Structure 1
């Protein structure tokens, strides 16, 4: 796992100052503390920070091909590099190292841009072809590894693993994109289709970009997509067996490392499944780690301990106080852009614990998106049955009116919180799912914005790209569309961003075996009836894993990492929340209705409403503005 950065001149091959590349790399030194390298030539500069995982001493970067024609910088891991190495050697390739970096170079020289389809792994890399004076950028299928880029005023393009690398370049403009604010308040993150700063782009998951000197900046090319259009046939038992086989392959391929390796263990279905398969594939005890909280209602560590005992793992556990708000500034600084998933804090803490004993940790991320594990998937499946029975002409006015009248009952038991369901049913399947995903629905956002911001935003609504994504998905049902949207937007924008930044902040490599693309493609072909059944998501996976895990793990209510932000904003962060509506950077932009913000704070502190999630969003936005020097 590493960090990369570079500069490429699109028109005239101007000299690139090595010190500038070095400064960009220094900004992301946490991604690679084990080594660094800079290479420049007319019109191009490449930099690399290395976290040594495979071939510890033999694969320095930037790396040149044996014939000197191509130069590579690479962040990630290629899990099938040994198989590719043998195939390329048989075709005449010469290798000087034992790592996966040189395999990418050889694959590029043999297959050109099509080489990415041969790689099974997580990656973001850049290859400069000295003879063609071209630069090739690529990102892995699911977007596990990030890549930012921005055209600059001197005719160059700067790129890097994090926005920090670009911010180290003096020509990068620091002008907020107001449409990114609309996106962020809707989803809680800035999606890959946009960046917080105007002129900055993120290379989307499964996309590549081929730049040629003398040609304008092209649009990225999609080289991979997942299709839900076909259905696999067969008995449930056969599908179970195939699923387990794919999971076994995915886990074992990600256990290759020349450094200590372990796993995150929360005691949930996904991390427990990964640990079970690691124990099956390993001849020695698996190292596992978990964190618990000193508040009983938030603590899942007993389940993690149960799995650790079951598989005789070398387990480390630590209890932390949920009152960890003193780390908020440090947490916000990891992301550069505003990021409102409050579970980032405990995720960072478990990464810190893991790094004390391992350099690589496997996680269970990805199964919910691939196999329909979220509660919203179950709801979507059920709501679509209602939509099929009641025509839109009736649903729209009836459910819309009822949803508008129904109170927002945050205090009530979950079955009585019908407002969101009614409003969801008033729209079509895509509209309903977009509403279920949103942190802040349109009516709430509109009430927060000032008149000036509404003019800046214009007709754009953050839901529009998601609706377009779902309606154009290679899918056969609303559940298909929902999972497609999760895999293409939510997964790279929220889940993988969270894990990448928090793990890299402590120089830990996180690997996600349940995001192996073969497993993802298989899951997308499963009939809906084995994804969601009897009110249960991930039905097939849970059934398949009964041979490994007890039912009290497989079928207990899903919890996940919880941060007690509701209590924080009524206690130690109450004054901080009031500053958001007053003198903070966010208020000084003039983009928000400060009286409305003050009302949200007052009602939350008084205990008459739970506005904690929105207040956390606004706080993280304010921290991002401050970090970028805005406001």
Structure 2
């Protein structure tokens, strides 16, 4: 993971301006502590802060073609770079081992129409000195962050993070995933146009082997590394499958030749938290070298301002989940590890959140998964990327592999539906795909373990502690005047208000607050899914309630929790009804029209 900044078409290109660009670029140094570079061509600047994962002894940026007329700065991993290198071996003189260098021959061969040929995650800016044009692009679903802004002098600023441009651009916004920006065309166009983006309901039958092999390929290609790596392991389904597949195929990779076949796994939690116990069990089964990190509620509270600074959001759920991840990333980097694999994206693709139990039909289910995947760049992708890159640690997410997304989103959603009569729990299609008798990937009780939201899994006292702390920091009078103080995305509770105060101090611009999503949500749903249940629309708590949905509910555990959140709360059901296994009724409403809400 790296940090890039491009400032293009400045009115001033003096040494003072160059110094300003360098100063702004250094705000991204946490993303790339290994090297920095700056290219200038008259009024155009391209800067990069590098985290070296592939070819650390070469590949410093900016990258150039042979006569240095085409220049690129990139933050990304191009997993098919070796194939592309072979394609252009006779035409292009490669000068580095960087996987991102293949962007240059692709541009020289196809102009701007090459981005869909890249298999990986990326954000990049390319400048052509011959005609003074430039283009920028972001990966399919926005795994890597990117922002675009406009200076008062007419310049265009493009940056990995908002902090490098927010003071210099009166207007800025998120660079949309799956798009490219062209100076020649003077605007955006979408390069990623999958069939699922239109939200048409697919009809491809469920094929367990196809789904399993697509995921295994996604994991294997992400083992492309020249530095030590590991896996994040919470003990839940998604991270456990990532760890299992990595462990199984590691011996076949070049990484094994460099670092051996031992796999390191990492988990974070409060003392006695569910994730610590579950992760240890999976680690013992897989035989990983397991590292368990503990934190206290006070550790988390003390880190919140840094988390908001790095994550550039005031979304409550994102901050809750980011804080333990932020603390863990620092510990991992201290061990000399620079890259980890993680399990983000599965719940969005496969309808893993418990509110999906109440989808009225497969059409609505599929449309909601489409909406969730489209919004990932503002939630889980943002959290996973920024909370770890704060310490120069790269996270790779195989569930968001472009080919795996295609397989998962092309499946007839009938197979994804929660159906207790058929013994199908959430994400049954994934569980079933890896439920093999010979050489099992995971024990069955782990394979069929119900989802635990990350901010809950690290320890239930974490949420209680945050609420108690923010209750002391924000007065009732402040809440009474919340709409006047924050008319845009008004905080609805004290925790949200506290985070907003910090965000506004760090990023006071209108454009900054507009980059954060907001709106009614039930248990992590999009606003559209609230239409599924009439009582959800009538609720005085439009953002949902965090209610227990576990087999081991107890007064000391999540069953004791009912809480309002600032935007999304990704566990359990709503309106104060505690639901064993997440399958109870909501004011008489039964999931998917079933009369028996028992998981198989």
Whether TM exceeds 0.5 here: the answer is: yes
The alpha-carbon distance between structure 1 residues 579 and 565, as it changes in their structure 2 partners (threshold 3 A), is: farther
Matched with 1:372 is 351
DSSP-derived class of the 1:154 partner: coil
Query: How much has 1:281 moved relative to structure 2?
Result: 0.8
Q: 2:544 matched to 1:572?
A: no
The alpha-carbon distance between structure 1 residues 82 and 592, as it changes in their structure 2 partners (threshold 3 A), is: closer
Matches within 5 A, 1:219-368: 219-227=188-196, 229=200, 231=202, 233-234=204-205, 236=206, 239-283=207-251, 284-294=261-271, 296=272, 298-323=273-298, 324-341=300-317, 342-357=320-335, 358-368=337-347
Matches within 5 A, 1:53-452: 53-90=53-90, 92-169=91-168, 172-173=169-170, 199-212=171-184, 217-227=186-196, 229=200, 231=202, 233-234=204-205, 236=206, 239-283=207-251, 284-294=261-271, 296=272, 298-323=273-298, 324-341=300-317, 342-357=320-335, 358-380=337-359, 383-384=360-361
Matched with 1:395 is none
DSSP-derived class of the 2:131 partner: coil
Measured in 2, the distance between the counterparts of 1:241 and 1:592 equals 47
Measured in 2, the distance between the counterparts of 1:337 and 1:562 equals 16
The alpha-carbon distance between structure 1 residues 158 and 580, as it changes in their structure 2 partners (threshold 3 A), is: farther
Q: 2:453 matched to 1:556?
A: no
Query: How much has 1:136 moved relative to structure 2?
Result: 0.3
Q: 2:595 matched to 1:616?
A: no
DSSP-derived class of the 1:31 partner: coil
Query: How much has 1:43 moved relative to structure 2?
Result: 2.3
Match for 1:537 among 408, 418, 426? 426
Measured in 2, the distance between the counterparts of 1:562 and 1:122 equals 26
Q: Contact 1:580/1:619 (CA < 8 Å) preserved in 2? A: no
Q: Contact 2:470/2:494 (CA < 8 Å) preserved in 1? A: no
Measured in 1, the distance between the counterparts of 2:295 and 2:382 equals 23
Match for 2:365 among 479, 493, 496? 479
Measured in 2, the distance between the counterparts of 1:552 and 1:320 equals 28
Q: Deviations over 1:454-509 (max 9, x none)?
A: xxxxxxxxxxxxxxxxxxxxxx81111101000111x1111001111101101100
Q: Contact 2:53/2:227 (CA < 8 Å) preserved in 1? A: yes
Q: Contact 2:467/2:495 (CA < 8 Å) preserved in 1? A: no
Measured in 2, the distance between the counterparts of 1:210 and 1:630 equals 26
Q: Deviations over 1:293-330 (max 9, x none)?
A: 22x4x422111111111111111112222343122212
Matches within 5 A, 1:508-547: 508-535=393-420, 536-547=425-436
Matched with 1:456 is none
The alpha-carbon distance between structure 1 residues 86 and 557, as it changes in their structure 2 partners (threshold 3 A), is: same
Matched with 2:547 is none
Measured in 2, the distance between the counterparts of 1:121 and 1:592 equals 36
Q: How many residues align?
A: 482
Measured in 1, the distance between the counterparts of 2:372 and 2:410 equals 16
Query: How much has 1:135 moved relative to structure 2?
Result: 1.0
RMSD, aligned α-carbons? 2.5
Q: Contact 1:343/1:561 (CA < 8 Å) preserved in 2? A: yes
Measured in 1, the distance between the counterparts of 2:412 and 2:467 equals 46
Q: Contact 1:141/1:206 (CA < 8 Å) preserved in 2? A: yes
Q: Contact 2:47/2:73 (CA < 8 Å) preserved in 1? A: yes
DSSP-derived class of the 1:75 partner: strand
Query: How much has 1:338 moved relative to structure 2?
Result: 2.2
Measured in 2, the distance between the counterparts of 1:513 and 1:327 equals 28
Measured in 2, the distance between the counterparts of 1:590 and 1:48 equals 35
- Per mean C-alpha deviation after superposition, the further-off stretch among 348-357 and 245-254 is 348-357
DSSP-derived class of the 1:288 partner: strand
Q: Contact 1:259/1:359 (CA < 8 Å) preserved in 2? A: yes
Query: How much has 1:538 moved relative to structure 2?
Result: 1.3
Measured in 1, the distance between the counterparts of 2:404 and 2:489 equals 47
Q: Contact 1:207/1:220 (CA < 8 Å) preserved in 2? A: yes
- Structure 1 runs of 4+ aligned residues shifted over 6 Å read none
Q: Deviations over 1:76-123 (max 9, x none)?
A: 111111111111225x22212222121111111112222111101110
Query: How much has 1:15 moved relative to structure 2?
Result: 5.6
DSSP-derived class of the 2:475 partner: helix
Measured in 2, the distance between the counterparts of 1:541 and 1:221 equals 30
Measured in 2, the distance between the counterparts of 1:587 and 1:265 equals 40
Measured in 2, the distance between the counterparts of 1:204 and 1:222 equals 11
Unaligned runs of 5+ in 1: 174-198, 385-475, 601-613
Measured in 1, the distance between the counterparts of 2:316 and 2:380 equals 11
Q: Normalized against structure 2, the TM-score is what?
A: 0.76
The alpha-carbon distance between structure 1 residues 309 and 582, as it changes in their structure 2 partners (threshold 3 A), is: closer
Unaligned runs of 5+ in 2: 252-260, 511-600
Matched with 1:393 is none
The alpha-carbon distance between structure 1 residues 233 and 147, as it changes in their structure 2 partners (threshold 3 A), is: closer
Q: Normalized against structure 1, the TM-score is what?
A: 0.72
